[in-house]
Amino acid sequence: MGRVLYTFFRSSTSYRLRIALALKGLDWEPRYVSLPGMQHRAVDYMALNPQGLVPALVEEDGSVFAQSLAMMEYLDETHPDPPLLPRDAKARAYVRMLCQVIGCDIHPLNNVRVLKYLRGRWSLSEADSNEWYAHWVAEGMRSLEASLVQQGRHGTWCLGEQLTMAEICLVPQIANARRFGCDLSAFPLSVAIGDRAAELPAFKAAHPSIQADAS
C-alpha cells in the first residue's frame, strides 16, 4: 500500500494536505472520512488517529501523522522540492506566523465540534453560530491582513514571489469563509493572494468540489 490520506472534502485542514501533496507531486490514495457521518469518531479511525480529527496521513512504512501544520512540515523536510518554507530564519518565522494566524487563531474556534457544542450545549440558533463563525473569521483575517501590510514582505504571494505554506493555509480558509457567507471585503490583499493561488493547478486539484466524496 502506498501513502494514504484520510480526508473529508469540505475539511479545510484536509484541503491543506491535498494542496501540499499536489505541489510536491506526491502520490497518495484517499480514504474518505465523513464528518457528518461521524466516521472520524468511529473506533477504527480513533485507533489510527486518537485525536479524532481529519486529516491523517499514513506513510508506506505505516507511520501515522496527524495535525496538518506538522504534516506539511514533515512532507517539506522529506521532499524538499519545491520548498513550502523559505530557508531564511526570519522569513520562515514570518510564514509560520501567517499559518498560525489561520491554523491556531481562526480554524480551532470555528471547527465543526465547536459549532456543534455551541448549538447543542448552549442552544445557539444557526444564525447565532453563523455570527460566531463570521466574528472569528473577521478578527483572524483582520489580523492576517494587518500583518501582511505591516511586514511589507508580500508580492505575488505572502512572501514576495515564493509560494509557501501561507497560501496553502489561506486558500482553504477563504473557501470556508465564503461557504459561510462571510464578508471578506475588508481584506483585499489576503483575498487577492488567495484567489491567485487558488488558480494554480495543485490548488485546483485539491479543491473540495472535485473530490470523490463531494458527490
Contact residues toward ligand GSH (CB under 6 A) are 11-13, 35, 40, 53-54, 67-69, 103, 111-113
CB nearer ligand GSH, residue 16 or residue 24: 16
CB nearer ligand GSH, residue 36 or residue 181: 36
Q: How far is the CB of 58 from ligand GSH (least distance, A)?
A: 14
Cα 12 → chain centroid? 4
Residue type, 43: V
Q: How far is the CB of 170 from ligand GSH (least distance, A)?
A: 14
CB nearer ligand GSH, residue 69 or residue 197: 69
Q: What's the rounded Cα separation, in Å, for the pair 67 and 77?
A: 15
CB nearer ligand GSH, residue 19 or residue 54: 54
Q: How far is the CB of 56 from ligand GSH (least distance, A)?
A: 9
Q: How far is the CB of 11 from ligand GSH (least distance, A)?
A: 4
Q: How far is the CB of 198 from ligand GSH (least distance, A)?
A: 18
| Residues in contact with 49: Cβ distance below 8 Å, sequence separation at least 6, in sequence order | 6, 40, 56, 64, 66
Angle between helices 12-24 and 68-78 (to 10 degrees): 10
| Residues in contact with 173: Cβ distance below 8 Å, sequence separation at least 6, in sequence order | 12, 102, 106, 107, 137, 140, 141, 194
CB nearer ligand GSH, residue 69 or residue 202: 69
C-alpha cell belonging to residue 82: 519545491
Q: How far is the CB of 160 from ligand GSH (least distance, A)?
A: 26
Burial class (CB in 10 A: 0-12, 13-18, 19+), 144: buried
Residue type, 214: A
Helix (H), strand (E) at residue 65: strand 64-66
CB nearer ligand GSH, residue 40 or residue 154: 40
